[in-house]
Amino acid sequence: MSKLQVIVGSTRPTRAADRVVPWVEARARAHQAFEEVEVLDLRDWPLPMFGEHAGSIGDFQDPTYSDPVVKAWNQKVKEGDAYLVVTPEYNHSVPGVLKNAIDNVFVSFALRHKPMAAVGYSGGLVAAARAIEHLAHIAIEAEMAPLRASVLVPFVESAFGPDGNPKDPTTEAALQITLDDLAWWSAALGRARAEGQLPPAIVRMRAAREAAGD
Ligand SMILES: Cc1cc2nc3c(=O)[nH]c(=O)nc-3n(C[C@H](O)[C@H](O)[C@H](O)COP(=O)(O)O)c2cc1C
């Protein structure tokens, strides 16, 4: 059993995210595999534009950061075992606010060795296919495990009926498959983390460079 965090990647007034998130949250809560589901709405996390450095980190084992909200964000994200990111597409990528939230997960390795999938939507036909591809690349650098399964919601303004459910039944199927895969990977990686983890690659590389006299 694991904890799923649903991250809401758009913060602007009038956002279409509010059509998508209630449906995603309801299906996630109904999924038997997750003992806890928590929505992390970036509107509730007024993170500064990323600007951490050695001086703002302080103790790397218990970082201070430049702002208490950055520390709280790192601690909150660390509680998650799996992540479902709800994102629109902005200029063929994720919104800057979402990229900034991931950048702010810094030196805590809070996302490391945990699965991540996405629900993407947009006002157009492509939904957020390009944003989700980009997000997968970002997730790799955060040492997450981005999943193949994802949900694409095109023409988001008319994609949901008055009951709040998607009009296209395959959208519903895509979310169930994505949640199933997230649950499987969450359990698998949870077991693997419990068995022991290598130090982060960046730490091992630093040691290798020091050994080489760099
Ligand atoms: C800055 C910006 C860039 C956008 N770029 C794209 C895009 O590249 N592809 C696309 O399909 N839609 C694009 N759109 C349309 C959005 O996907 C659409 O407005 C959607 O509702 C945004 O989600 P939100 O309302 O939850 O913020 C863009 C919208 C904005 C505001």
Predicted local distance difference test score (pLDDT) of residue 214? 81
Within 10 angstroms of residue 180's Cβ, the number of other Cβ atoms is 13
Q: Which residue type sits at 69?
A: V
Q: Grade residue 118 by pLDDT with cuts at 50, 70 and 90.
A: very high
Query: Which residue range is the domain that position 8 belongs to?
Result: 2-211
Ligand 1 centroid from CA 94, angstroms: 9
Question: What is the tens place of the pLDDT at every residue in 141-154?
Answer: 999 999 999 999 99
Minimum CA distance residue for ligand 1 atom 4: 90
Question: Could you identify the atom of ligand 1 that is nearest to the CA of residue 157?
Answer: 21
Does the pTM exceed 0.75? yes
Minimum CA distance residue for ligand 1 atom 20: 122
* CATH number of the domain that residue 53 is part of: 3.40.50.360
Question: How many domains does the chain fold into?
Answer: 1
Ligand 1 centroid from CA 10, angstroms: 10
What is residue 9's three-state secondary structure?
Answer: coil
Ligand 1 centroid from CA 98, angstroms: 13
Question: What is the tens place of the pLDDT at every residue in 87-112?
Answer: 999 999 999 999 999 999 999 999 99
Cβ atoms of residues 123 and 156 within 8 Å: yes
Residue whose C-alpha is closest to residue 151's, from 177, 125, 130: 177
Within 10 angstroms of residue 67's Cβ, the number of other Cβ atoms is 16
Question: What is the tens place of the pLDDT at every residue in 164-189?
Answer: 999 999 999 999 999 999 999 999 99
Question: Could you identify the atom of ligand 1 that is nearest to the CA of residue 125?
Answer: 11
Q: Residue 123: which H helix or E strand, with range?
A: none
Residue whose C-alpha is closest to residue 35's, from 137, 205, 186, 214: 186
C-alpha span between 122 and 126 (Å, rounded): 7
Predicted local distance difference test score (pLDDT) of residue 169? 96
Token duo for residue 108:
């805590």
Q: Write the DSSP symbol of residue 48.
A: P
Question: Could you identify the atom of ligand 1 that is nearest to the CA of residue 12?
Answer: 27
Question: What is the tens place of the pLDDT at every residue in 78-90?
Answer: 999 999 999 999 9
Predicted local distance difference test score (pLDDT) of residue 199? 94
Question: Could you identify the atom of ligand 1 that is nearest to the CA of residue 128?
Answer: 11
Token duo for residue 160:
């949901």
Is 80 exceeded by the pLDDT of residue 1?
A: no
Residue whose C-alpha is closest to residue 7's, from 41, 58, 35, 37: 41
Q: Which residues have any ligand 1 atom within 6 Å of their CB?
A: 10, 12, 15-17, 88-92, 122-124, 126, 156
**Residue owning tokens 């630093």:** 206
Token duo for residue 65:
């950061």
Question: Could you identify the atom of ligand 1 that is nearest to the CA of residue 93?
Answer: 8
Ligand 1 centroid from CA 181, angstroms: 27
Minimum CA distance residue for ligand 1 atom 27: 15
Ligand 1 centroid from CA 90, angstroms: 5
